[in-house]
Amino acid sequence: MPDLTIKQAQQQVDEWIQTIGVRYFSELTNMAVLTEEVGELARIMARKYGDQSFKTGESAETMADEMADVLWVLICLANQTGVDLEEAFRKNIEKKTLRDRKRHKDNPKLNNEHPK
């Protein structure tokens, strides 16, 4: 599969919703679903990188799929609310670059190899 732009991803999700998914869930429902998906990703992260252990039948193998679920629902919300995620992301990087140009380099907490 060739590289996919954010714009193309938004178009693919919209096409899938229109042809297979019947319709978008409401924005509020999708916000709740996004929260649920982030929670599922957080559970895997806490077990793989944190202090928790996996329960029987759980594994880190689904981490990529959970990330994709988060992205899917975020794209649904963007489509529903008329947000061009590609443009929004570009503007967000510009904002962070201007705002944080020196902030992180000057942060002694980030200059240590082992965060506390």
What are the phi and psi torsion angles at 82 (to 5°)? 75, 25
Q: Which two tokens stand for residue 5?
A: 């732009």
What is the pTM for the complete model shown? 0.86
Q: Which two tokens stand for residue 65?
A: 């799929």
Which pLDDT tens digits describe the chain residue by residue (116 residues)?
689 999 999 999 999 999 999 999 999 999 999 999 999 999 999 999 999 999 888 888 899 999 999 999 999 999 999 999 999 999 999 999 999 888 888 888 888 765 55
CA-CA distance, 103 to 116, in Å (whole number)? 19
CA-CA distance, 17 to 80, in Å (whole number)? 11
- Determine the distance from the C-alpha atom of residue 38 to the mean position of all C-alpha atoms in its chain, rounded to a whole number: 8
**What pLDDT does 101 receive?**
84
All domains of the chain in start order, with CATH: 6-86 (1.10.287.1080)
